[in-house]
Structure 1
Amino acid sequence: MGRVTKTLLGLTAVGALGWLAHDSYQAWLKRPVWSELVVPSALAQARQFDFGAYRLDWRGQGFSISAQSNPEKTLWAVDGGFLAAGVGHAEVEEHRGALFVDERRQVLCQQQSLESFTQQGERLTLRGHLQCDDGRVSGYALILQADGQRGVSMAVAVDEPALNRLYLSWQSEADEAFYGFGEQFTEFNLKHWRLPILVQEQGIGRGLEPLTTGANLNARAGGDWWTSYAPVPHYLTSKLRSFFSESAAYQVFDLRAEDKVQLEVHASTLVARIYQGEDPAALIEAHTSVVGRMPPLPAWTQQGAILGMQGGTDKVREVLNTLKTADVPVSGLWVQDWVGQRTTTFGKQLWWSWTLDQQHYHGWPALNAELNAQGIRTLAYVNPFLVDVAEKGDDSRNLYQEALKADYLVKDHSGKPLELLNTSFSAGLVDLTNPAAHAWLKGVLNEEMLAQGFSGWMADFGEALPFESVLASGEPAELVHNRFPELWAGLNRQVVEESPRRDELFFYTRAAYSRSPGLTTAMWLGDQMVTWDRHDGLHSALIGLLSGGLSGFSINHSDIGGYTTINHPISNYHRSEELLLRWMEFAAFTALFRSHEGNRPDENVQPWSNEVTQQQFARMGKVFAALADYRSTLMAEASTRGLPLVRPLWLHYPQDPASQAPVPESFMLGSELLIAPVLAPDVTELEVALPEGTWVHLWSGQTHQVNAADKVRTPVPVGEPAVFYRAGSAAGQALRETLQAQGLITASQE
């Protein structure tokens, strides 16, 4: 994450209000573009059209779509006008990975006629015209195609080539909750919100004050409640409806109206899908059959902690010896600074040139062999940027100069390589639309990274392609921007699949878009603050896991303890011991148990900092390892059905009051374990909403008979987050027995 935070002193309130008026609220104040529908008398009568397994019921001024097998359940419906179009121009500014969209509507076409229905087998086409406010008229077509048991595919297009905006509207219900949309970190139910879908830097603070305002005033870096590395134009609702826009263009879901949804797409065509399923799991399965599914992780990743640290060979040995003495199960060592460290205004960062720093990690082959002999795999770090290492002076290759000479970097409109500012340095971005550049970078990762014996790596970034970029493929950058993380994940996936060691390799990405589940092998949630809150802290990580899992991000995790540390004259944000201990508890019940030092390692409490953190790291690492067999079954399910490992209660108990919390504070690991992590400081007990039935408390073995809307009060001492399993659950009982055998549940707890 490229961020600089300086003092607020000297910045005026007028300046702050000006920034907010132009940037934060410019998009929010945009209104939906509704259309008025005119229907000729010949179509005024109700009629029915069957296409494949589906049915369209026309009511004279609107229609509904349903499966013929269940005509009572509406999959998608409109009432009156459902399509408008227009001409717009968006000024999109990229600033250190954040994007600011200034949309100017120039022409609107809001008078809609519907003039014909044409059926050809399983395809039904609706045609009519749009009347624009500048006098022009354009034909349009909406094509519905049966897609087997999965649902209905939809295509929308207008005839007038100058129209570059579509506004598609459909019905919703006042009490209908909307979930998904990729990783959303602050709100879980998106009803009543206006949600842009634009891959970008998530920001620092995202509403947490005074940090967000300070970051915005200094570097426009604060982000907003909706900014996300991994948004997806896909949702599921509490009424078991699901919709997916396949467009890569900038688009906005407007869910503010009680009875309507509007999708604004910055394009003249749209391909979308309406899924059908009898429960939430079936809808996820339908969606992931389109976008792809994530494979199971290598078994070694599940046996303990992946320790993230920096500092070179001697520091690695020192810390590992400390953790070995504390009996911490370590399955991997993630040395992100394998390329060497540099100090910037943001803290400790890396030299973005993907070759081993032989001085920083002296004797690397011996160290790697030593670790492998202990059952510890090593992991690296890469991203699609390159910096000129001439000033560093000791690299065997200057990859930036190689890429520059070969014309492999993204360009600006003058034909020069774009220099993209990160913190206090700039970098070039490899043009992944160029097949030669793609092949070259893939070769670099093989020759310089895999050849060093690494078994995994963080494939960082991918969210920052500027709209003003000129690409080798000739495609408009605004249509590649959201897809760029898919290109980056696809390159890394090829490195894995083409390696003779592919069964032991994996990588994890943060930036993602719709089809990333079929391309990446794991994800992480990006750069949370070292705070507790749901704007940008621990609670936001939980919400991000839950929302992302509904859009196919089934194998996901977070940095233990968070990442972003800020030194600020008004308020410092440093990782506390308590936050680190509680984040360990949360992470033990996710797909990976991986720590991160953060951007300012020396100012954060670390897993090895003292006896308390070491003991907790050992304890929760063992809890994580005890769940390996259970997670293995869940990862197999993820690869075949697309279901996430970490799940909202709503996925399994859609009608139970326990699943109706506006902001979730608990989650399921698979279908068998319910976890309520501690999400605030100084908490010694929790009231946990459990679905109706009989539940067993993991640590005490106490059984609770729960009625609808009941809450169970349970103690949560450090090391014992609130964990329950259904009475009779084989997975729950197996976990309890394993922890008892390891001495992690003692007789005094029972």
Structure 2
Amino acid sequence: MRNETLRFLVLVLFLFLCPTLSWKKEEFRTCEQTPFCKRGRSRAPGSSSVIATDVAISNGELTAKLTPKDDPQSKPLILRLSVYQDSILRLTIDEDPSLSPPKTRFQPPDVLLPDFPSTKLWLPRLTSEDHGAASSVRLSDAHSAVLRQHPFELFIRHDASSQRVISLNSRGLFDFEPLRHKSDGDDWEERFRSHTDSRPYGPQSISFDVSFHAADFVYGIPERASSLALRPTRGPNVDHSEPYRLFNLDVFEYLHDSPFGLYGSVPFMLAHGKTRGTSGFFWLNAAEMQIDVLAPGWDAEYTDSLIALPSNRIDTFWMSEAGVVDAFFFVGPSPKDVLRQYTAVTGTPAMPQLFSVAYHQCRWNYRDEEDVEHVDSKFDELDIPYDVLWLDIEHTDGKRYFTWDRALFPHPEEMQRKLADKGRKMVTIVDPHIKRDDGFHLHKEASQKGYYVKDASGNDFDGWCWPGSSSYPDTLNPEIREWWAEKFSYKNYVGSTPSLYIWNDMNEPSVFNGPEVSMPRDALHYGGVEHRELHNAYGYYFHMATADGLLKRGEGKDRPFVLSRALFAGSQRHGAVWTGDNTADWDHLRVSVPMILTLGLTGISFSGADVGGFFGNPEPELLVRWYQLGAYYPFFRAHAHHDTKRREPWLFGERNTELIKEAIHVRYALLPYFYTLFREANTSGVPVVRPLWMEFPSDEATFSNDEAFMVGGSLLVQGIYTERAKHASVYLPGKESWYDMRTSTVYKGGVTHKLDITEESIPAFQRAGTIIARKDRFRRSSTQMANDPYTLVIALNSSQAAEGELYIDDGSSFNFLQGAYIHRRFFFSNGKLTSIDLTPASGSNRRYPSDAFIERIILLGHPPGLKNALIEPSNDKVDIELAPLWFLRARAPAVMTIRKPSVRVGEDWTITVS
């Protein structure tokens, strides 16, 4: 009892001190303190002496054995090479199961799409190359995959040019440590600070080099708070000596410019260059990973011993603590091609409900029902729309999830219904740590069923988190995921309603008294899997189980909304993510853009950063600028730590309230455009917000620009990241012009413009040649805007032409999968605007019915003198007049407008202007 009391007091002291502490570097391992990383970095280029033998075609795959050249009697590794539709190449390397390794090495299940294996193509034959020293197979009409046998090397070649695209082990750094049985005298333990890792199977790391050819920059491998383009981590004149670390961690108040790993890991890297385009590499592995981007000249002292390679390449070095090689190569060649290929493997982003694309108001914590009602009513009083109000951990009964503190929230159903009456939702937090309290039914049931992660001795793992002594459900196990999903039923989650959605935090997993604030690596999961093998995917499985729970709760009718802090490859299929515990300073505002862009490049499109910063108290100017930028994040949520001052939009003076309100109004006006982009992401994998180079892949000036970004293909946004800024330099790519979204001023493309900046907005532009849809009437929430009319903004290019799309469905159900949606393409050319149906031909019962109409059509860039517009097939004429570009803004410029054409958004029509 005395020990339990002492542990409790230590925890209380820890929690008391936490809010005042900053990130402590010494709590986390460096590469030098991580044996597999230190060993990997110590190897010289060319040190790999592995050769490929017994190369053959078996069951439609290329197979081979990999054996050390100097030890032909050692156990070989088994290599398999397979080709899939859309030019996807898969490489697996593992121990030979016929030679009885100590256990089966772990491969993360349920990450690849269930249908992906069915897209495998049958390889009919091998082609011998280089006098039998290499074998090749066709990857596509344009590419071949070549396996060089001595020394082992794999590369993809563009056949017409004979140029390489991606290669593996061209620098001779491949290493694969086999699992071993422990013998007397073996000391495999690893120690860090006060923690010991038993490592029962010894070192089991894998490492290899990957080279991207004809590449100018590499991107990807989130999550990290650093630049979009990955900077070299090793070599001459390199500032960052640490590799990029992929290891999901609860990092308190993270640094804004660091290769250090954060809450999520996606081991997917893209390369892009002006001459060749884009390629990608994905390693499906959930163990800790360390990745070096190697600067030119990093291998100078070894150059004479290496295979000669072209100079226009970027070398990278990948190291993992455990797992197998299960790697995928994507040849592009365009950026969007690579995203399509990658998401064909891991899945496209789920289609969100419309409400979740709108504005969210959150704080740790809204105190009680009275506080909730006050915040809600204040938004209405000031005519500021919002869609979701969030409750953090303090709403529960003693940090017991699926419960309510009945003293503070005595009527949770009524509270949710009051919000729902205005079209609003509520989100509550549900974390993976379960309070070890014998009186808590969830803990009692999990203990009895054996559903917790085990420690190295086979007992329920007991760690410390917000409730104190806690255990963690083993959601790797499908049975336990099913059990967890049932907890979200209305029967089990007493006080929940259909308008309640879920937030998963701390699911890295966070363990306050664990090594590096996480779970010990030798903890045990379903099937005897060590935690080291699946660490980076633990939060992914928890996120999956929670999303499944909301699906079950709604009997599969409504799309779930679950926000997760931890993430892994495939997280995009289960919900949204955010960038975690940022800080209220200008550097964190700036780094939010490359963080969100990087997530989008790796398939995770629905992401955002806490507006205003989680820690600290933003000055009014910073908060306003953050709202102005956050209005263009895919996920738009304000959030704050409980030690910060309250910061609802009305607490910073009347003028700042108006500026924040205007930023939120911009988001609501653009909801039709954002929702259309989410559908594009759902069908193609192309992210909602994009680096400039995704839309302008040949423009070298865009390759390292991560202060500006594209929202879809039509809008460019430039953040303001310095205090009291009066001017901003904005590069507008391309040959066509751009229209200032606020003033309609025209700016030339391909030029950097020095612009005057005011407090009213950040620079945002519509690309000439595009059409976007808006909704200009403002309600309390997006739900109440459902039947409101649309405005089309046509930004004409130098040919007096433009086009764009609009997607509409019911905003909540899965009926769109059966064709219940509207998808229109708008063309303007030769003075005529045409609406074309993009939905497949089908019966009327599959259509989404809508009475919404278009009330305004704005023409930007048309020569003056237009008088009227002829609408067909009704044969009506309406006037063209000058009207405000925006109704929500004072002093909005007057622009050429077709008022009340009264055409229905879901019908075919043409409008001719004269």
TM range, smaller chain: 0.7 to 0.9
Distance 1:65 1:355, change over 3 A: same
2:185 corresponds to: none
1:458 corresponds to: 503
Is the partner of 1:200 in helix, strand or coil?
coil
How far residue 56 of structure 1 moved from its aligned partner, in angstroms, is 4.2
Aligned positions of 1:411-422 closer than 5 A: 411-422=454-465
1:128 corresponds to: none
Aligned positions of 1:514-593 closer than 5 A: 514-518=569-573, 520-533=574-587, 537-565=588-616, 574-593=617-636
Q: Give the structure-2-normalised TM-score.
A: 0.64
Query: How far apart, in 2, do the equivalents of 1:638 and 1:359 lie?
Result: 43
1:199 corresponds to: 248
Post-superposition Cα deviations, 1:400-454, rounded to whole Å, max 9, x if no partner, equal 3443344332232344433323369342212223455433322222221683343
How far residue 604 of structure 1 moved from its aligned partner, in angstroms, is 4.8
Aligned positions of 1:187-586 closer than 5 A: 187-193=227-233, 194-206=243-255, 225-239=259-273, 240-258=278-296, 260-267=315-322, 269-308=324-363, 310-337=366-393, 339-340=395-396, 351-388=399-436, 398-422=441-465, 425-446=468-489, 447-448=492-493, 451-464=496-509, 465-498=519-552, 499-500=554-555, 502-503=557-558, 505-518=560-573, 520-533=574-587, 537-565=588-616, 574-586=617-629
How far residue 676 of structure 1 moved from its aligned partner, in angstroms, is 0.7
Return the index of the structure with the highest Cα Rg: 2
Please tell me the residue identity of whatever aligns with 2:272.
S
Query: How far apart, in 2, do the equivalents of 1:295 and 1:207 lie?
Result: 29
Q: 1:575 touches 1:604 (CA, 8 Å); kept in 2?
A: no
1:746 corresponds to: 891
Is the partner of 2:266 in helix, strand or coil?
strand
State which drifts further: 682-691 or 162-171: 162-171
Is the partner of 2:524 in helix, strand or coil?
coil
Say yes or no: does 1:55 pair with 2:144.
yes
Distance 1:563 1:48, change over 3 A: same
1:117 corresponds to: none
Query: Please, what is the CA RMSD of the aligned residues?
Result: 3.7
State which drifts further: 680-689 or 628-637: 680-689
1:665 corresponds to: 707
Please tell me the residue identity of whatever aligns with 1:249.
A
State, as a whole percentage, how many aligned pairs show the same letter: 21
Post-superposition Cα deviations, 1:206-248, rounded to whole Å, max 9, x if no partner, equal 268xxxxxxxxxxxxxxx5322212211111123221111122
How far residue 388 of structure 1 moved from its aligned partner, in angstroms, is 4.6
Q: 2:368 touches 2:395 (CA, 8 Å); kept in 1?
A: no
Is the partner of 1:615 in helix, strand or coil?
helix
Q: 1:339 touches 1:352 (CA, 8 Å); kept in 2?
A: no
Is the partner of 1:226 in helix, strand or coil?
coil
1:83 corresponds to: 174
Please tell me the residue identity of whatever aligns with 1:658.
A
Is the partner of 2:379 in helix, strand or coil?
helix
2:61 corresponds to: none
Query: How far apart, in 2, do the equivalents of 1:507 and 1:527 lie?
Result: 18
Please tell me the residue identity of whatever aligns with 1:91.
E
Q: 1:338 touches 1:381 (CA, 8 Å); kept in 2?
A: no
How far residue 399 of structure 1 moved from its aligned partner, in angstroms, is 2.9
Q: 1:552 touches 1:644 (CA, 8 Å); kept in 2?
A: yes
Distance 1:103 1:49, change over 3 A: farther
Q: 2:360 touches 2:386 (CA, 8 Å); kept in 1?
A: yes
Query: How far apart, in 2, do the equivalents of 1:430 and 1:38 lie?
Result: 41
Query: How far apart, in 2, do the equivalents of 1:20 and 1:388 lie?
Result: 26
1:147 corresponds to: none
Q: 1:339 touches 1:353 (CA, 8 Å); kept in 2?
A: no
How far residue 635 of structure 1 moved from its aligned partner, in angstroms, is 0.8
Please tell me the residue identity of whatever aligns with 2:386.
V
Q: 1:686 touches 1:714 (CA, 8 Å); kept in 2?
A: yes
Query: How far apart, in 2, do the equivalents of 1:471 and 1:94 lie?
Result: 24
Query: How far apart, in 2, do the equivalents of 1:475 and 1:380 lie?
Result: 31
Q: 2:146 touches 2:156 (CA, 8 Å); kept in 1?
A: yes
Post-superposition Cα deviations, 1:650-676, rounded to whole Å, max 9, x if no partner, equal 211122143133x61111111111101
1:179 corresponds to: 219
Aligned positions of 1:91-170 closer than 5 A: 91=190, 164-170=204-210
How far residue 168 of structure 1 moved from its aligned partner, in angstroms, is 1.6
Distance 1:178 1:102, change over 3 A: farther
How far residue 92 of structure 1 moved from its aligned partner, in angstroms, is 7.3
Is the partner of 2:245 in helix, strand or coil?
strand
1:686 corresponds to: 728
Which structure ranks higher in relative contact order (CA pairs < 8 Å, sequence separation ≥ 6)? 1
Distance 1:249 1:613, change over 3 A: same
Is the partner of 1:427 in helix, strand or coil?
strand
Q: How many pairs were matched up?
A: 639
Structure 2 residues not aligned, in runs of 5+: 1-13, 52-68, 70-128, 180-187, 234-242, 297-313, 510-518, 774-790, 795-857, 859-882, 896-914
Post-superposition Cα deviations, 1:303-350, rounded to whole Å, max 9, x if no partner, equal 5444555111111111222221111012122223573387xxxxxxxx
Please tell me the residue identity of whatever aligns with 1:319.
V
Query: How far apart, in 1, do the equivalents of 2:288 and 2:767 lie?
Result: 43
Query: How far apart, in 1, do the equivalents of 2:732 and 2:431 lie?
Result: 42
Q: 1:254 touches 1:263 (CA, 8 Å); kept in 2?
A: yes
Is the partner of 1:583 in helix, strand or coil?
helix
1:146 corresponds to: none
Post-superposition Cα deviations, 1:245-292, rounded to whole Å, max 9, x if no partner, equal 112222222222425322223337311011111211100110011011
Distance 1:365 1:77, change over 3 A: closer
How far residue 497 of structure 1 moved from its aligned partner, in angstroms, is 2.5
Distance 1:616 1:397, change over 3 A: farther
Query: How far apart, in 1, do the equivalents of 2:249 and 2:753 lie?
Result: 40
Query: How far apart, in 2, do the equivalents of 1:749 and 1:90 lie?
Result: 73
Query: How far apart, in 1, do the equivalents of 2:433 and 2:708 lie?
Result: 37
Distance 1:501 1:539, change over 3 A: same
Query: How far apart, in 2, do the equivalents of 1:483 and 1:686 lie?
Result: 41
Say yes or no: does 1:731 pair with 2:830.
no
Structure 1 residues not aligned, in runs of 5+: 10-15, 105-160, 209-223, 343-350, 391-395, 566-573
Query: How far apart, in 2, do the equivalents of 1:397 and 1:352 lie?
Result: 8
Is the partner of 1:624 in helix, strand or coil?
helix
Q: 1:338 touches 1:360 (CA, 8 Å); kept in 2?
A: no
Query: How far apart, in 1, do the equivalents of 2:499 and 2:557 lie?
Result: 12
Q: 1:181 touches 1:234 (CA, 8 Å); kept in 2?
A: yes
